[in-house]
Protein backbone atom coordinates (compact mmCIF):
# COMPACT_ATOMS: atom_id res chain seq x y z
CA UNK A 1 0.00 0.00 0.00
CA UNK A 2 3.01 2.33 0.25
CA UNK A 3 2.88 2.75 -3.51
CA UNK A 4 -0.55 4.43 -3.34
CA UNK A 5 -1.19 8.03 -2.27
CA UNK A 6 -4.34 9.66 -0.95
CA UNK A 7 -5.91 12.69 -2.68
CA UNK A 8 -4.68 14.98 0.09
CA UNK A 9 -1.12 13.76 -0.34
CA UNK A 10 -1.37 14.23 -4.10
CA UNK A 11 -2.70 17.78 -3.78
CA UNK A 12 0.05 18.68 -1.35
CA UNK A 13 2.78 17.07 -3.46
CA UNK A 14 1.63 18.59 -6.77
CA UNK A 15 0.69 21.92 -5.15
CA UNK A 16 -2.76 21.95 -6.76
CA UNK A 17 -6.38 22.46 -5.67
CA UNK A 18 -9.20 19.92 -5.52
CA UNK A 19 -10.72 21.18 -8.79
CA UNK A 20 -7.42 20.72 -10.61
CA UNK A 21 -7.15 17.18 -9.29
CA UNK A 22 -10.66 16.38 -10.54
CA UNK A 23 -9.81 17.83 -13.97
CA UNK A 24 -6.70 15.67 -14.23
CA UNK A 25 -8.80 12.60 -13.43
CA UNK A 26 -11.52 13.54 -15.96
CA UNK A 27 -9.02 14.33 -18.73
CA UNK A 28 -7.25 11.02 -18.16
CA UNK A 29 -3.91 12.52 -17.14
CA UNK A 30 -4.21 10.82 -13.77
CA UNK A 31 -5.71 7.42 -13.08
CA UNK A 32 -7.52 7.03 -9.75
CA UNK A 33 -7.98 3.69 -7.98
CA UNK A 34 -10.73 2.85 -5.53
CA UNK A 35 -9.65 0.87 -2.50
CA UNK A 36 -12.47 -0.69 -0.54
CA UNK A 37 -15.05 0.92 -2.83
CA UNK A 38 -14.84 4.34 -1.20
CA UNK A 39 -11.29 5.63 -0.99
CA UNK A 40 -9.48 7.08 -3.98
CA UNK A 41 -5.80 6.32 -4.32
CA UNK A 42 -3.18 7.26 -6.89
CA UNK A 43 -0.03 5.46 -7.97
CA UNK A 44 3.18 7.18 -6.93
CA UNK A 45 4.77 6.71 -10.38
CA UNK A 46 1.83 8.48 -12.07
CA UNK A 47 2.11 11.38 -9.64
CA UNK A 48 5.85 11.75 -10.24
CA UNK A 49 5.44 11.87 -14.03
CA UNK A 50 2.62 14.39 -13.74
CA UNK A 51 4.72 16.55 -11.43
CA UNK A 52 7.53 16.65 -13.96
CA UNK A 53 5.02 17.81 -16.58
CA UNK A 54 3.58 20.49 -14.28
CA UNK A 55 6.84 21.71 -12.72
CA UNK A 56 9.72 21.05 -15.14
CA UNK A 57 11.96 23.59 -13.38
CA UNK A 58 11.96 21.49 -10.21
CA UNK A 59 13.97 18.72 -11.83
CA UNK A 60 17.16 17.67 -10.13
CA UNK A 61 20.31 19.17 -11.64
CA UNK A 62 22.13 16.77 -13.92
CA UNK A 63 25.63 17.43 -12.66
CA UNK A 64 26.90 18.03 -9.17
CA UNK A 65 30.28 19.51 -8.26
CA UNK A 66 33.11 17.02 -7.88
CA UNK A 67 33.78 17.94 -4.25
CA UNK A 68 30.15 17.16 -3.38
CA UNK A 69 30.47 13.75 -4.98
CA UNK A 70 33.70 13.06 -3.07
CA UNK A 71 32.13 14.24 0.20
CA UNK A 72 29.09 12.00 -0.35
CA UNK A 73 31.33 9.06 -1.25
CA UNK A 74 33.36 9.55 1.93
CA UNK A 75 30.26 10.01 4.09
CA UNK A 76 28.68 6.75 2.94
CA UNK A 77 31.84 4.65 2.66
CA UNK A 78 34.19 5.94 5.37
CA UNK A 79 33.84 2.80 7.50
CA UNK A 80 34.87 0.57 4.60
CA UNK A 81 37.74 2.81 3.56
CA UNK A 82 39.15 3.01 7.09
CA UNK A 83 38.68 -0.75 7.60
CA UNK A 84 40.52 -1.49 4.37
CA UNK A 85 43.36 0.85 5.37
CA UNK A 86 43.64 -0.85 8.79
CA UNK A 87 43.71 -4.32 7.23
CA UNK A 88 46.35 -3.21 4.71
CA UNK A 89 48.41 -1.71 7.54
CA UNK A 90 48.17 -4.93 9.60
CA UNK A 91 49.04 -7.12 6.62
CA UNK A 92 52.05 -4.94 5.87
CA UNK A 93 53.41 -5.49 9.38
CA UNK A 94 52.63 -9.23 9.39
CA UNK A 95 54.47 -9.76 6.12
CA UNK A 96 57.34 -7.51 7.09
CA UNK A 97 58.10 -9.25 10.39
| CATH class of the domain comprising 4-58 | mainly alpha
Residue 29 has pLDDT above 80, yes or no: yes
Which residues, in sequence order, are CB contacts of 41 under 8 Å at separation 6+? 4, 5, 6, 32, 33, 34, 35
Please give the pLDDT value at position 8: 92
4 phi, psi to nearest 5 deg: -110, 140
49-89 pLDDT, tens digit each:
988 888 777 655 567 788 888 999 999 999 999 999 999 99
Burial class (CB in 10 A: 0-12, 13-18, 19+), 42: buried
More confident residue, 61 or 13: 13
The 10s digit of each residue's pLDDT in 31-53 is 888 888 777 899 999 998 988 88
Is the pTM of the predicted complex or chain greater than 0.75?
Answer: no
Per domain, the residue ranges of the chain are: 4-58, 64-97
Residue 1 has pLDDT above 60, yes or no: no
What's the start-to-end Cα distance of the chain, in Å? Answer: 60
Amino acid sequence: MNNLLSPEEVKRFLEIEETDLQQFIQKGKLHAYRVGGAYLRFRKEDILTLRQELHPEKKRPLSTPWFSRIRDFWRFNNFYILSLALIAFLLFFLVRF
